[in-house]
Amino acid sequence: MKKRKLITFFILFISLNLFSQEIITKFESVQLIKPRVISLNGGMKSAAGGKSREYIKIDLPQNTVEWYYSFTTSPGVSGTKNLNLATQIAAMLASKTNVIGTALTSTGITKEVMKSIEIPAGTNSADIYLCDRANIDKFLAKEDLNLFGGSYSYTMEGTVQNTKQAIVQINDITKGTVFLGLKNPSSLDGINITIEVVAIVKTQVIVEKSDEEKKAELYGGLGWKQFENGDFQKCIEYSDKANEYSQLGWVNANKGLALLILNRETEAMDIYINAITLIKKQNNPNYVFTEVIKDLDNVINKYPNLSGAKEIKEIIQLEIKK
């Protein structure tokens, strides 16, 4: 009997401990290769000295979600250009980070990076290949030009050919060590390739909730219990009590649901708008929106003619990011 009580207490302790904390997922940019200028001769001139191919070694950090390289080109006799890839990605992440420090989903990052990063215009074409250790050696040895046959392999994602400037995103290969093989496809003209490499790394941070947030969640939980028991007015009262300590999106959504059932549609709409605003600022909003929609579906199934429920559901569905 004592053993059973101990187990029960231990489970309760874990539950309370988890309830008092929140795991926040963050995305941070890490500069892997600072802006570097690679000067390459034309193929014919490299035979008499110099080189038309070079490589960059990249060690991907743990928990890399995706990584990018940007490059631009200029004639071999001209100066270099600023890429500022790391600075631009860091600024983008900062602008898309909400008030509690949680950035975009990883899929949202890709869209934002590709849309917002600016690259200086290039003037000469370059080839860049993503290779492993064995194939970068073959690339440098020019085995593809061997008269007796030979070749090297590369990954299509991360490879560009005959391109003057680009930002290239890679998310298929996110672990280990990889190599970028840089090639001047011109037989005569030399080029400068300015290149920079940045990874986006996912980290999880445990954040201790404030006493006000803990009290708000407890009252919010009591409110939902009353909702399940069919006491919708009591649900509203407990939700209001929760809001006195801290405004929580899911608590406001629960209150809005109770107001709908009580045929207080105008009030419910105002509360749901507030709930949507709060949920968008918190960690993993898509998950919370999905749960709110499930609750609306349950109510719609039970009360098919409930005024305003379907309209609110449609508004929330528009907030879920693909």
Is 155 within 8 Å of 130 (Cβ atoms)? yes
Alpha-carbon span 143 to 78, nearest angstrom: 31
State residue 182's pLDDT score: 97
The DSSP 8-state label assigned to residue 83 in this structure reads -
Which residue range(s) make up the domain with 157?
Answer: 23-205
CB atoms within 10 A of CB 317: 12
* Interval 241-290: pLDDT, tens: 999 999 999 999 999 999 999 999 999 999 999 999 999 887 778 888 99
* Interval 155-187: pLDDT, tens: 999 999 999 999 999 999 999 999 999 999 998
Q: Which of 205, 237, 258 is the last residue of a domain?
A: 205
Strands (E) located in the chain: 21-40, 53-59, 64-75, 126-131, 155-163, 165-170, 177-183, 191-208
Q: Is 184 found in the same domain as 91?
A: yes
Measured CA angle at 220 (ends 300, 310), to 5 deg: 20
How far is residue 104 CA from its own chain's centroid?
Answer: 5
Q: Is 249 found in the same domain as 223?
A: yes
State residue 96's pLDDT score: 66
How many domains, the chain?
Answer: 2
CB atoms within 10 A of CB 318: 9
pTM exceeds cut of 0.85: no
Q: Is 247 found in the same domain as 111?
A: no
Q: Which of 185, 205, 225 is the last residue of a domain?
A: 205
State residue 10's pLDDT score: 45
Q: Which of 205, 234, 251 is the last residue of a domain?
A: 205
Alpha-carbon span 80 to 72, nearest angstrom: 9
pLDDT tens across the length of the chain (322 residues): 434 444 444 434 334 444 556 677 788 899 999 999 999 998 666 555 678 999 999 999 999 999 999 999 998 655 557 888 988 888 888 776 543 334 455 555 677 777 778 889 999 999 999 999 999 999 999 998 877 778 899 999 999 999 999 999 999 999 999 999 999 999 888 999 999 999 999 887 777 788 898 899 999 999 999 999 999 999 999 999 999 999 999 999 999 999 999 999 999 999 999 999 999 887 778 888 999 999 999 999 999 988 999 999 999 999 886 5
Q: Is 31 found in the same domain as 149?
A: yes
Nearest one of 77, 1, 75, 66 to 32, comparing CA atoms: 66
Does residue 11 form part of some domain?
no
